[in-house]
Chains A and B, each alone.
Chain A
Amino acid sequence: MHMVRTFLFGRRYDVPLDQDSGSKVLPWIIALMVYLASLSLTATMTVSGLIGQWNADVAGTLTVQVPPAHNEGRERSIETDPRLKRIIAILQAQPAIQSATPLPQDQMDALMAPWLGTGDFSRELPMPWLIDVEIDRTQPLDLDNLGMQLDSTVPGVTIEDHQVWLKDLIVFARSIEVIALLILFLVTLAGVTVVVFSTRAGFDIHRNVVEALHMMGATDAYIAGQFQTHAFGVGLRGGLIGLGMALVTLLVATYFAAQINSTLMPSFSPSWLLYLCLAFMPLASAVITMYAARATVMRNLNALP
């Protein structure tokens, strides 16, 4: 330990901060802070990733739903339903609409399978037709007007704009994001507070040494440097422990998310960007701890003559 410190920082401390009982607890408190901060960061980045994914998925699409005809049964098909043709023709006439494609029967079956099973039974049920519509959002499209036009052609046709329900989902996701960021901020604040108080305690414990250094002509920066170097080490150690705990949690969460394998659950697979950000947590923790300690010591030194 002494060798490493000498190697890292050139020489031993003049202020024996590493011998305080507090400096054994502090890295663990910081580890906990970094752990919580890492989870908040993970939540924030995952949610904002999801929002982006949803947006990309549905940004340029509408779904038009055509109710089943009264007499259709087993042999219904896209080709034989004249109503479908008329609806598609109207849709394709809109300049803002790039394509309108009915969902093939086998895809419908796949969508329904989790609820209805795969038996012939599902074919007996009257199912609406779904038409995937790709639109160009830069061009004007009066959805209300289009809706009325479609409804008068085939009664019961509805247009589903994903943007609408997505908007609500995004508001919800954003609020999760804001809460996670708030937690990140509060955890940082709590961490800084803990460091400030523990530095102040260390300063008081070693007041004799500090005053001796001060009277030998040590500058405030020299004395603060002693605390600062120590604090950097504590912050780094705590940060690495916290990061380790966060990574274990992430791995476990990723594993279970993969096990669930449901189309209902948003996929949880941490991005490389998240890992990159997490990799910086120990350094951030070390730097924040260092500056909090420095500011505290400088303030206390100012009270010396």
Chain B
Amino acid sequence: MIRFENVGMRYGNGPEVLRDVNFSLEPGSFHFLTGPSGAGKTSLLRLMYLSARPSRGLINLFGRDIATTPRQDLPALRRRIGVVFQEFRLLDHLSALDNVALPLRIAGVPESQIRTHVAELLSWVGLADYVQSRPATLSGGQQQRIAIARALISRPKLLLADEPTGNVDNAIAMRLLYLFEELNRMGTTVVIATHNEGLISRFDYPVLRLEDGELNMIGYGSTL
């Protein structure tokens, strides 16, 4: 599904924020990615969802070497990845429904199939009453759930979530994690970056830890 070999990354001419990162994720796996703020979690996810290029090393995604993949093939790869951005990146001029529908429209799904799908998923994340609301009129937690619904709507092969429970209380956080588990059971590979160690310990999934730009597998959630 995804393999990193000796990956290093720097912003501009700055220091390496990721150093010699090696790991591989099996299809259908579920991982937590943790580490202190500034450790490089977001940077690592950006490499995975092809929004940044490594400064060295090899990244293999869906069996393709990213460095040699032509640029025009990248959108199709990105469409197989669902991303929950740390800062949501919702489109403020669109309703919750249109935001969540966006990946389907980009993929060219017929309009007739979009509406019911989207409404269904929005009620799944507890936003049935906010289908026509603009993101700016909603709370941080509600916006986060729109962002999650948008990442899930196209049933991605790989789901990358950057602090997806950062703005919700524990009850909703658990509920969202059950949603990710549900998706994982249907075959999606899931990576969740979070510094909420309490949450991690309530699940029995492998945990990757980033510290000073180096990545280590540190065990399973419930044993930490």
Contact = CB atoms under 8 A, between A and B. Distances in A.
Contacts of A211: 51, 89
B220 to A, nearest CB: 31
Contacts of B85: 212
* Best-surrounded residue of B53, B76, B106, B150 (most CB of chain A within 10 A): B106
Given A14-B94, A14-B102, A305-B50, A219 B75 contact: yes
Contacts of A16: 91, 93
A218 B89 contact: no
A94 interface: no
Indicate the size class of the contact surface on chain A: 20 to 34
Given A305-B50, A305-B51, A216 B106 contact: yes
A185 interface: no
Interface in B73-102: 74-81, 83, 85, 89, 91, 93-94, 98, 102
A209 interface: yes
Contact of B51 (A208, A215, A218): A215
B39 to A, nearest CB: 22
A166 to B, nearest CB: 60
B49 interface: yes
B186 interface: no
A217 B51 contact: no
B52 interface: yes
Given A209-B91, A305-B50, A217 B98 contact: no
A216 B77 CA distance: 10
A230 to B, nearest CB: 13
Interface string B148-160: 0010000000000
A217 B102 contact: no
B65 to A, nearest CB: 15
B78 A14 contact: no
B107 interface: yes
B27 interface: no
Given A216-B79, A219-B75, A14 B50 contact: no
Contacts of B50: 215, 305
Contacts of A197: none
Interface string A206-235: 001101111111111010000000000000
B52 A305 contact: yes
Interface residues of B, number: 29
A216 B85 CA distance: 11
A218 B79 CA distance: 8
Given A16-B93, A19-B93, A208-B89, A215 B49 contact: yes
Contacts of B78: 214-217
A24 interface: no
Given A12-B98, A19-B93, A209-B91, A216 B103 contact: yes
A219 B71 CA distance: 10
Most buried by A among B74, B91, B94: B91
A12 B74 CA distance: 26
A217 B91 contact: no
Contacts of B150: 216
B83 A215 contact: yes
Interface string A48-74: 000000000000000000000000000
B106 A218 contact: yes
A208 B90 CA distance: 9
B190 to A, nearest CB: 18
Contacts of A11: 105, 111
Nearest to B93: A16
Interface string A28-64: 0000000000000000000000000000000000000
Interface in B24-50: 49-50
Given A208-B89, A305-B52, A305-B53, A217 B103 contact: yes
A218 B53 contact: no
B107 to A, nearest CB: 7
Contacts of B89: 208, 211-212, 215
A217 B76 contact: yes
Given A16-B93, A19-B93, A218-B75, A213 B106 contact: yes
Q: Nearest 3 CB-CB pairs, A to B?
A: A217-B79, A217-B78, A16-B93
30 contacts: A11-B111, A14-B91, A14-B94, A14-B102, A16-B93, A19-B93, A208-B89, A209-B91, A211-B89, A212-B89, A212-B91, A213-B102, A214-B51, A215-B49, A215-B50, A215-B51, A215-B83, A216-B83, A216-B106, A216-B150, A217-B75, A217-B78, A217-B80, A217-B81, A217-B106, A219-B72, A220-B75, A302-B71, A305-B51, A305-B52
Given A213-B102, A217-B81, A305-B53, 8 more contacts: A11-B111, A12-B94, A16-B91, A212-B89, A214-B51, A215-B50, A216-B103, A217-B79
